[in-house]
Amino acid sequence: MNSIKVSRSGRGESLYSEHTGRFVRLILEKPEQALEEYGFNFVYSIDESDSAAFLKNIGIASDSWRQRFLEAVALHRRGELKNAEKVYKELLSEDGKHKEIEYNLAALYLQSGEEEKAKEHLGKFEKFVSSIEPEENDAVILEEFTQRIKEIKEELE
């Protein structure tokens, strides 16, 4: 839901990948240096959750629900599962209508080997998906959600 994949091929791919990785490391450790070396526009070439972490680290992030969600996704992607779990649960308790977090929790618990918790949150996510009234503009989202459910179920088997 939050990932934008950019396909890069050709001679510049490894250089781009090297700079992107270095930038992501710098935004976590030395955000001012990342900004100085790469400029603000480079933020738009990295994953949205890493961008959210960067904006927080330089002190210009909003305290919106979406910003905090993206920060949790960044924590999750970096393997900081306990911190990500804490933020996901806080967000879910603050605004229960964002049931897509149940998927993130299912994936997180699957990663940490807590299969029963993963099944519990996957069930909640499935219930949410089945409650969505299929409209024309929701077809892609429903397909993506269905695929996510299938992938986690396969991992749990």
pLDDT greater at residue 1 or residue 133: 133
35-90, pLDDT tens digit by residue? 666 665 555 556 667 777 766 766 766 777 888 888 888 888 888 899 999 999 99
* Dihedral sign for Cα atoms in the order 61, 67, 68, 72: negative
Here the tokens at position 9 are 């091929």
- Burial string for 94-117 (b: 16+ CB within 10 Å, else e) reads eeeeebbbbbbbbbbbbeeebeeb
pLDDT at 46: 64
Average pLDDT on 17-21 reads 65
Q: Is residue 54 part of a domain?
A: no
For residue 86, being part of any structural domain is answered with: no
pLDDT at 122: 93
Is residue 1 domain-resident? no
Q: Find all residues with CB under 8 Å of 46, minimum gap 6, and list them.
A: 20, 23, 24, 54
Between 25 and 80, the higher pLDDT residue: 80
pLDDT above 50: residue 5: no
Q: Decide if 22 is inside a domain.
A: no
Q: Is residue 66, in this structure, part of any structural domain at all?
A: no
Q: How many domains does the chain have?
A: 1
| pLDDT over 60 (residue 110) | yes
pLDDT at 1: 42
- Show the domain range for 131: 99-157
Structure tokens at 86: 């804490």
Averaged pLDDT for residues 25-40: 68
Asked whether residue 78 is assigned to any structural domain, the reply reads: no
147 domain-assigned: yes
Confirm if 108 and 81 have CB atoms less than 8 A apart.
Answer: yes
Does 48 fall in a domain?
no
| pTM assigned to the model | 0.66
